[in-house]
């Protein structure tokens, strides 16, 4: 947020009413964290990420050590932090339209991470969309089939065009 403050102060051509945010993997996690803690961005796209540290624990190909390394302790010794550090906990605070993109063969951040957050936002009446790719790994955006990469990029562009254009 400090970087955004700096950019908005230093560059008069930046339209603060039309800024979007996107990220993949940890960047997707941070995108989710951002939209659950601020409404400064007018649209977001989150890709292949974590929404619940508890459900992530022990399921990722990165290993069971990752959660304790990032959160501290395990879900049994530190359940409060696993809940507090999960964007899903703050779903009710989201006001930014957000699209989720996830691929089925992501063994780093399983598809349930997107499904549960998307479902929570739909349940809460928030503006959201879910783009589910039946193939592709965690990093399909850079090493997947060209046709899938193009489809993903076009979905992102369409989402941002629809939510960042003048008059939104």
- Do 55 and 112 contact (CB within 8 A), yes or no? yes
Active site residue 102: no
Catalytic residue among 16, 25, 103, 142: 25
Active site residue 138: yes
Catalytic residue among 51, 102, 103, 138: 138
Residues 6+ apart with CB under 8 A from 166: 18
DSSP 61: T
Q: What is the CA radius of gyration of the chain?
A: 16
Residues 6+ apart with CB under 8 A from 81: 71, 72, 73
Which residues are known to be catalytic? 25, 138
């Amino acid at each position: 947020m400090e970087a955004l403050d700096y950019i908005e102060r230093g560059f008069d051509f930046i339209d603060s009413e039309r800024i979007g945010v996107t990220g993949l993997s940890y960047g997707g996690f941070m995108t989710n964290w951002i939209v659950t803690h601020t409404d400064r961005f007018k649209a977001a796209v989150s890709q292949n990420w974590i929404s619940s540290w508890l459900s992530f624990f022990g399921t990722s190909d990165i290993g069971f050590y990752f959660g304790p390394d990032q959160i501290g302790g395990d879900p049994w010794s530190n359940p409060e932090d696993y809940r507090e550090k999960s964007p899903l906990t703050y779903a009710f605070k989201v006001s930014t339209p957000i699209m989720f993109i996830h691929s089925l063969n992501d063994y780093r951040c399983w598809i349930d991470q997107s499904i549960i957050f998307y479902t929570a936002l739909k349940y809460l009446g928030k503006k959201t969309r879910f783009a589910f790719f039946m193939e592709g790994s965690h990093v399909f955006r850079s090493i997947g089939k060209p046709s899938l990469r193009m489809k993903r990029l076009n979905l992102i562009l369409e989402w941002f065009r629809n939510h960042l254009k003048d008059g939104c």
